[in-house]
Structure 1
Amino acid sequence: MFDLHRLRLLRELKHRGTLAAVAAALSYAPSSVSQQLSQLEAEVGVPLLEPVGRRVRLTAQAEILVAHTEAVLERLERAEADIAASLTDLTGTVRIASFQTAALALVPTALGLLRDQHPRLRVHITHMEPQKALPALQARDFDLVLAEEYPGNPNPRPAGLEQENLLDDPLHLALPPSVDAPDTDGPTAALRSLADHPWVMEPEGTAARHWAVALCRAAGFEPDVRFETTDLLLHQRLVEQKHAAAFLPDLVFSGRPPAVALRQLPRGQRTRRIVTVVRRGRSRHPAVLACREALRQAATPPPGQAPEGHGRPAPSSPSMP
């Protein structure tokens, strides 16, 4: 029988890419990780790693082992969830990664609900953008990730992750005070009026940037992106100070009236979807269920009250197999 600890090291190498990264993540010496993987190779009887320059990559046989290891770890997580569900008190630690606007608008309220309902549950929050947080979720650095999906830009659907819709967050064109774009001209005309104006957008490689640039190109121009940041509060401030135009979601206002003029976007481009993502084996753990429920309550206004600073709850339909 293969050693599970060594199999987990092989799996970590697949997700983290280098022996040094595995050692850093698990607080091991790199030489110890290398020695353990060499012992695993001896157990299996075939090479598991092959050199590629200064790095190593998994062989086909190693990939087979990792796939089986994923299944074993998923089953163990389900066992952990069953044990937790058999207890009357919810304890332990749950680790959540969230992007900025959800962390500001939803997480504090959710934390308050969890503190009142499950005082012995420890919740750790890390600010991290989805493109980094989702791979970290697969690597078991987090138990739950708050992520966003822009129109026409769904997140990758890795095997073993389950996604649940949380909120539909309206998106707007934010106009600097020096720009006049009457609503009567229509959404595309409002966009074109900013063709020669500086823009602030999220960095290249992000889903938000891909969506924003495609939207401008569809309106017939290439945006002059002078400012790049994932900080949407800075986006808002740059618009307020007449430095740039931007696309801003409702969540960035956190219930306060917008300080900038907003215009509607073209049809089909008016909302982003906020989702929670967990590993399949972790999805029924009571702590994860409690966190998802608290986030749903934070995203849902009381009956008869309009949402403050964020959009409407999204239909809940898991979309990752």
Structure 2
Amino acid sequence: MFDLRQFQVLRAIASSGSLAGAARELHYGHPTISYHLGALEAHLGVKLVERGPTGAVLTDVGTMVLEHACAVLDRIDTVEADVEARAKHGVATLRIGAFHSAASRLLPRAVRNAAIGSDVRIELIEAEPLDLVAHVRAGSLHCAVIYDVGGAGARYGADMRAETLFDDPYRVLLPASHPQARAVGPVDIELLADDGWIVSRGSYDPSDQTLFATCQSLGFRPRTVLRTDDYGVVHGFVAAGTAVALVPELALEEGYDVVARPAVQVLGCRSIRFLAPQGTQPALVGRLREELHRAAAIRKTP
């Protein structure tokens, strides 16, 4: 059976580069370090550390075991922190994940309403959807607000519950002075073939994929003049007349001299979802889920 001290010793050897360094880091005697390392290697039946005259390095298997050991120790730290917070301060900690637009526009009011009457501490991680799914699955997040396209919500696995909050359509973002901004009705993207475009820095972004696929169907490739993942920067450069952009409706910001229009072409949308593990969840997670669905219903109301 594993002993958490074995994992702590392996982590300390990796960080310090020697058994002596691990002993100093953990305030153990050298024999104690050797004992726990030997017990772990005996239990697994493999050599985890190569010892040399100048120190110690992990074997390939040792490095793999270290990754799992660190995940276990991090999870234990989270449990201890939650128990300590509850015992000392009566504070419940709700760990939420979200992409940036959801974190700034959907969560604040929903979290406030969900937490009314409780002394709750919020820990928020901002990340891309795939990373958030991994955090929820690992247990480091109670829940997350994510997005996907093309019905990907059905592919999260039987251990996850993904509920659709609303569909987030794409909008063409134009400078207010742009000729198409002054026109009436949806924008024909074909008429923007000569404009410069702002796209994301990453290799995969639903907005970019939608833009490139649409432009390809119209016989041209959009001319990229700026790459950024910051929608505030996108709005600023569009307002300055540098370029145009395709952005999700949820990412639209006020205070810029821009116009956001639907397109003549069918662009589809991304689905905004609430993600949590299957099974019984803390009451706060359930209340947050209800508040997010309530906020989504308001968005859907004309």
- TM-score of the two chains, using structure 2 as the length reference: 0.66
**What is the CA deviation profile of residues 64-92 of structure 1, one whole-angstrom value per residue up to 9, with x for unaligned ones?**
xx7xx99xx9xxx9xx9xxx9xxxxx952
Q: 1:298 to 1:263 in 2, by over 3 A?
A: closer
Match of 2:193 among 186, 192, 195: 195
- Are the aligned partners of 1:49 and 1:56 in contact in 2 as well (CA < 8 Å)? yes
Shift of 1:247: 1.2
**RMSD value, Cα:** 4.5
Q: 1:49 to 1:211 in 2, by over 3 A?
A: farther
Unmatched tracts of structure 1, length 5 or more: 13-18, 21-27, 85-89, 302-306, 313-321
Shift of 1:167: 1.6
- TM-score of the two chains, using structure 1 as the length reference: 0.63
* Higher RCO (C-alpha 8 Å, min separation 6): 1
Partner of 1:216: 215
In the alignment, is residue 236 of structure 1 matched against residue 202 of structure 2?
no
Shift of 1:113: 0.3
Unmatched tracts of structure 2, length 5 or more: 16-21, 27-32, 51-56
Partner of 1:288: 285
Secondary structure at 1:300 match in 2: helix
Paired positions, count: 261
Shift of 1:274: 0.6
Shift of 1:195: 1.9
Match for 2:293: what amino acid?
R
**Which 10-residue stretch deviates more, 95-104 or 152-161?**
152-161
Shift of 1:46: 4.5
Secondary structure at 2:171 match in 1: strand
- Are the aligned partners of 1:150 and 1:271 in contact in 2 as well (CA < 8 Å)? yes
In the alignment, is residue 94 of structure 1 matched against residue 91 of structure 2?
no
In the alignment, is residue 120 of structure 1 matched against residue 131 of structure 2?
no
Match for 1:107: what amino acid?
L
- Are the aligned partners of 2:235 and 2:253 in contact in 1 as well (CA < 8 Å)? no
Secondary structure at 2:180 match in 1: coil
Q: 1:292 to 1:210 in 2, by over 3 A?
A: same
Match for 1:232: what amino acid?
Y
**Which 10-residue stretch deviates more, 285-294 or 205-214?**
205-214
Shift of 1:48: 7.7
Q: Aligned equivalents of 1:294 and 1:8: distance in 2?
A: 41
Match for 1:272: what amino acid?
R
Shift of 1:205: 2.5
Q: Which has the higher helix share?
A: 2
- Are the aligned partners of 1:105 and 1:254 in contact in 2 as well (CA < 8 Å)? no
Shift of 1:127: 2.6
Shift of 1:56: 6.6
Q: 1:223 to 1:123 in 2, by over 3 A?
A: same
Shift of 1:37: 7.5
Q: Aligned equivalents of 2:3 and 2:192: distance in 1?
A: 61
Match for 1:195: what amino acid?
A
Secondary structure at 1:212 match in 2: helix
Aligned-residue sequence identity (percent) comes to 25
Partner of 2:224: 225
